């Protein structure tokens, strides 16, 4: 059943899945990290409360998070087309993946930052640290482990979403699983791709947790 | 002018429609080079007061003058610069858990924009001052409470402050470690002339290191002055409670005394009188039994002070009081707070 043609297709699928996951996570953090920091800082117990700004970002990220991913993907088709030039394939899938991941990442970053001991922040203030310095040298440093742990969860979720995007022609392992398992009833190929997806998630998980533990000195 | 001047400081918190007057009209002056204690029960407003000294808490009313500069008139930026002169240590140390001891100490300098190498060099000197040279690469989680507080003190000294604020800095430590931290603070005060403000709810801490003390209760300054004077003659109810302690009432109400119609007095004596068996002689002379409810010797600023709570028979009270006063003891009635 797994002739060389199928094998090379699966290898290509792994490559596409990794490509989508890595880039979506990267861009997701590019948007989500600052967003999460702003949420944590502007909340009423934050170091620079700003009710209006918090409210806007809070509502925005909640709306985005409550739209099911597949629907978001379809809603974003015109937007994706303007950015990438087409609306199918793995590169195009990165766009909705980033939009779906960013608010979710922001929430995780926000909660990681809020875990930082308020006493340490108070100490930094008493030394004359500015808000920006506190963010850079206290919050991000002390929350580092927690942010990394969050990223590990994030990668797993994004990988799952990317497989979902496969069902509408997004490429990658999810695409293969749907095309062969659902449309052609070749369950063996579907099972292989599912196992590969599970293995990939596990590997990311393991690497992420190891990395987080290495950086933790608590 | 005094180094720290508080004029009519009030602080009101509004939470969910309720208002809390955490501080009410506090006036206080702290001189340069002093070790000044602020004592009060939990919730009295001590932390709020000390946080007003570096404007981590902005008073609702009143003025804070540090070295002549009025904190209320400074811009945010000027205030941050001013804070470099006012270091602070805390009950729970508040060290950065993800940084080594050395980098924790270098931290205030890094914040000020100093080069990392330069900051670390200074941090090493400071580690020596607090006696933790061998711990420079350790992380806070690997240190004991006393060691953590030493690191916090070293960190506080990094920017050469004029003032060191200590908010319950020894409250999480055992008595021996408390002693060693207090000794370190004393040493720092003497060596560098840094003014130290010590916030605590423990009278022993005040007695051990402070020259001056202020007592606050429910946001009000009820008494302040020299530690020796206040220790000998606390005037306010809060002062009496802190100094004489709650065990008076426990002892007195707990067991019925054998002495009829007992009057309780507090007798304080110094080194000189501690040698003579004053009480024994007095009993022989009066020929009546008296109750010793509590007896203790304490070190107040290096002078041995004895303190006793005596239950005296009502009818001999005048006689006994006169006798003890003649022998150089200071006598004061405390019965009214016994219940
Ligand atoms: N940020 C705050 N918001 C509301 N109430 C506060 C705040 N900080 C302190 N308080 C209240 O002010 C009073 C004094 O608190 P605090 O200064 O912490 O006392 P202490 O340090 O003497 O135990 C308490 O009643 C406390 O609940
Ligand atoms: Mg307190």
Cβ of residue B2 closer than 8 Å to a chain A Cβ: no
- Band (pLDDT 50/70/90 cuts) for residue A11 is very high
Q: What is the arithmetic mean of pLDDT over B102-120?
A: 96
Give start and end residues of each alpha helix (H) in chain B: 46-53, 76-83, 101-111, 116-129, 145-157, 175-192, 203-209, 227-232, 237-244, 247-254, 271-275, 278-286, 317-326
Q: Are B112 and B83 in contact (CB under 8 A)?
A: no
d(CA A88, CA A18): 17
Residue B118, pLDDT > 90, answer yes
Residue A31, pLDDT > 70, answer yes
Contacts of B121 (CB under 8 A, 6+ apart): none
- Band (pLDDT 50/70/90 cuts) for residue A127 is very high
Determine the pLDDT at residue B8: 97
Ligand 1 contact via B44 beta carbon (within 6 Å): yes
* Range in A24-38, B19-33, B165-179, B324-338 the model is least confident about: B324-338
The nearest CA of chain B is from the CA of A120 a distance in Å of 5
Contacts of B105 (CB under 8 A, 6+ apart): B123, B126, B127, B151, B154, B155, B158
Instruction: Report which of residues B238 and B83 the model is more confident about.
Output: B83
Q: Quick check: helix, strand or coil at residue A170?
A: coil
Residue B34, pLDDT > 60, answer yes
- Band (pLDDT 50/70/90 cuts) for residue B193 is very high
Query: Which residues of A fall below an 8 Å CB-CB distance to B?
Result: 117, 119-120, 122-130, 133, 137-138, 141-142, 144-145, 215-218
The nearest CA of chain A is from the CA of B283 a distance in Å of 56
Q: Which residue has the tokens 């699983």?
A: A177
- Atom 9 (ligand 1): residue with closest C-alpha? B48
- Band (pLDDT 50/70/90 cuts) for residue A181 is confident
- Band (pLDDT 50/70/90 cuts) for residue B302 is low
The nearest CA of chain A is from the CA of B143 a distance in Å of 11
- Name which of B16, B78, B97 to mutate to probe chain A: the one with the most chain A Cβ atoms within 10 A of its Cβ: B97
Q: What is the arithmetic mean of pLDDT over A123-136?
A: 97
Q: Would you list the domain boundaries of chain A? A: 4-214
* Range in A182-191, B3-12, B34-43, B90-99 the model is least confident about: A182-191
Q: What is the arithmetic mean of pLDDT over B162-176?
A: 96
pLDDT digits over B224-262, tens only?
999 999 988 888 988 888 887 755 544 444 444 455 567
- Homologous superfamily of A4-214 in CATH? MetI-like (1.10.3720.10)
How crowded is residue B104: how many other Cβ atoms within 10 Å of its Cβ?
Answer: 26
Q: How far is the CA of B125 from the centre of ligand 2 (A)?
A: 31
d(CA B115, CA B132): 23
Determine the pLDDT at residue B307: 81
Examine the predicted complex and report whether its ipTM is higher than 0.85. yes
* Range in A164-168, B94-98, B134-138 the model is least confident about: A164-168
Q: Which residue has the tokens 């970002």?
A: A57
Instruction: Report which of residues B319 and B209 the model is more confident about.
Output: B209
* Range in A6-10, A105-109, B168-172, B317-321 the model is least confident about: B317-321
Instruction: Report which of residues A165 and B80 the model is more confident about.
Output: B80
Q: Of ligand 1's atoms, which has the minimum distance to the CA of residue B49?
A: 17
Q: Quick check: helix, strand or coil at residue B82?
A: helix
Tokens for A50, please give them: 């700003």
Q: How far is the CA of B235 from the centre of ligand 1 (A)?
A: 25
Q: Which domains are assigned to chain B?
A: 4-235 (3.40.50.300), 245-337 (3.30.70.260)
Distance of CA A130 to the CA centre of its chain: 30
Q: Of ligand 1's atoms, which has the minimum distance to the CA of residue B44?
A: 22
* Range in A174-178, B112-116, B198-202, B320-324 the model is least confident about: B320-324
Q: Are B159 and B87 in contact (CB under 8 A)?
A: yes
Determine the pLDDT at residue B256: 46
Q: Quick check: helix, strand or coil at residue A180?
A: helix
- How, if at all, do strands B195-200 and B163-167 pair? parallel
Residues of chain B found within 8 Å of residue A124, distances taken between Cβ atoms: 107, 111
Helix (H), strand (E) at residue B293: strand B291-300
Q: Quick check: helix, strand or coil at residue B218?
A: coil
Give start and end residues of each alpha helix (H) in B28-141: 46-53, 76-83, 101-111, 116-129
Determine the pLDDT at residue B266: 85
Q: Which ligand is nearest to the CA of B167?
A: 2
Determine the pLDDT at residue B253: 42
* Range in A40-44, A171-175, B33-37, B261-265 the model is least confident about: B261-265
- Name which of B111, B112, B151, B166 to mutate to probe chain A: the one with the most chain A Cβ atoms within 10 A of its Cβ: B111
Instruction: Report which of residues B89 and B334 the model is more confident about.
Output: B89
- Name which of A123, A131, A144 to mutate to probe chain B: the one with the most chain B Cβ atoms within 10 A of its Cβ: A123
Q: What is the arithmetic mean of pLDDT over A164-174?
A: 86
Phi, psi of A4, deg, nearest 5: -65, -30
Determine the pLDDT at residue A184: 84
Residues in a beta bridge with B35? B196
Q: Are A172 and A163 in contact (CB under 8 A)?
A: yes
Share in percent of chain B as helix, strand, coil (round to 5): 40, 30, 30
Q: Are B306 and B295 in contact (CB under 8 A)?
A: yes
Residue B332, pLDDT > 90, answer no
Phi, psi of B75, deg, nearest 5: -75, 165
Helix (H), strand (E) at residue A173: helix A172-176
d(CA B260, CA A129): 65
């Amino acid at each position: 059943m797994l002739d060389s043609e199928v094998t090379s297709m699966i290898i290509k699928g792994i490559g596409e899945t990794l490509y989508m996951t890595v880039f979506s996570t990267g861009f997701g953090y590019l948007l989500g990290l600052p967003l999460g920091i702003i949420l944590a800082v502007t909340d009423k117990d934050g170091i620079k409360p700003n009710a209006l700004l918090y409210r806007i970002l809070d509502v925005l990220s909640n709306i985005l998070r409550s739209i099911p991913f597949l629907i978001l993907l379809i809603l974003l088709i015109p937007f994706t087309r303007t950015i990438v030039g087409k609306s199918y394939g793995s590169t195009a899938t990165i766009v909705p993946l980033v939009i779906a991941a960013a608010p979710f990442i922001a929430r995780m970053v926000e909660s990681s930052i809020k875990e930082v001991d308020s006493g340490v922040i108070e100490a930094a203030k008493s030394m004359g640290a500015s808000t920006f310095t506190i963010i850079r040298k206290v919050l991000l440093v002390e929350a580092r482990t927690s942010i990394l742990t969050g990223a590990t969860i994030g990668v797993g979720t994004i990988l799952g979403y990317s497989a979902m995007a496969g069902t509408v022609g997004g490429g990658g392992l999810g695409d293969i699983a749907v095309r062969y398992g659902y449309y052609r009833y070749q369950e063996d190929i579907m099972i292989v791709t599912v196992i590969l997806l599970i293995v990939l998630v596990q590997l990311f998980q393991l690497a992420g947790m190891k990395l987080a533990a290495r950086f933790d000195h608590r | 002018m005094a180094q720290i001047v508080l004029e009519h400081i009030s602080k009101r918190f509004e939470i969910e429609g309720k208002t809390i007057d955490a501080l009410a009209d506090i006036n206080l002056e702290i001189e340069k080079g002093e070790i000044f204690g602020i004592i009060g029960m939990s919730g009295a407003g001590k932390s709020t007061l000390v946080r007003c000294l570096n404007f981590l808490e902005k008073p609702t009313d009143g003025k804070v003058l540090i070295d002549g500069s009025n904190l209320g008139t400074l811009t945010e930026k000027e205030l941050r610069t001013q804070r470099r002169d006012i270091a602070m240590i805390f009950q729970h140390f508040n060290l950065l858990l993800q940084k080594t001891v050395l980098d924790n100490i270098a931290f205030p300098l890094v914040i000020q924009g100093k080069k990392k190498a330069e900051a670390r060099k200074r941090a090493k000197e400071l580690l020596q001052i607090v006696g933790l040279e061998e711990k420079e690469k350790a992380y806070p989680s690997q240190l004991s409470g006393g060691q953590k507080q030493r690191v916090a003190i070293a960190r506080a000294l990094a920017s050469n402050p004029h003032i060191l604020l200590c908010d319950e800095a020894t409250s999480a430590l055992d008595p021996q470690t408390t002693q060693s931290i207090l000794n370190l603070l004393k040493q720092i005060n003497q060596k560098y002339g840094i003014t130290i403000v010590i916030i605590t709810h423990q009278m022993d801490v005040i007695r051990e290191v402070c020259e001056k003390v202020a007592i606050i209760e429910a946001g009000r300054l009820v008494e302040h002055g020299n530690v020796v004077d206040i220790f000998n003659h606390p005037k306010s109810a809060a002062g009496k409670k802190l100094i004489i302690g709650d065990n008076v009432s426990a002892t007195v109400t707990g067991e019925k005394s054998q002495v009829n119609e007992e009057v309780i007095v507090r007798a304080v004596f110094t080194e000189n009188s501690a040698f003579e068996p004053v009480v024994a002689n007095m009993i022989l002379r009066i020929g009546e039994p008296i109750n010793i409810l509590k007896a203790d010797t304490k070190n107040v600023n290096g002078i041995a002070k004895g303190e006793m709570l005596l239950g005296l028979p009502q009818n001999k009270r005048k006689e006994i009081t006169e006798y003890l006063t003649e022998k150089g003891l200071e006598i004061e009635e405390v019965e009214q707070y016994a219940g």
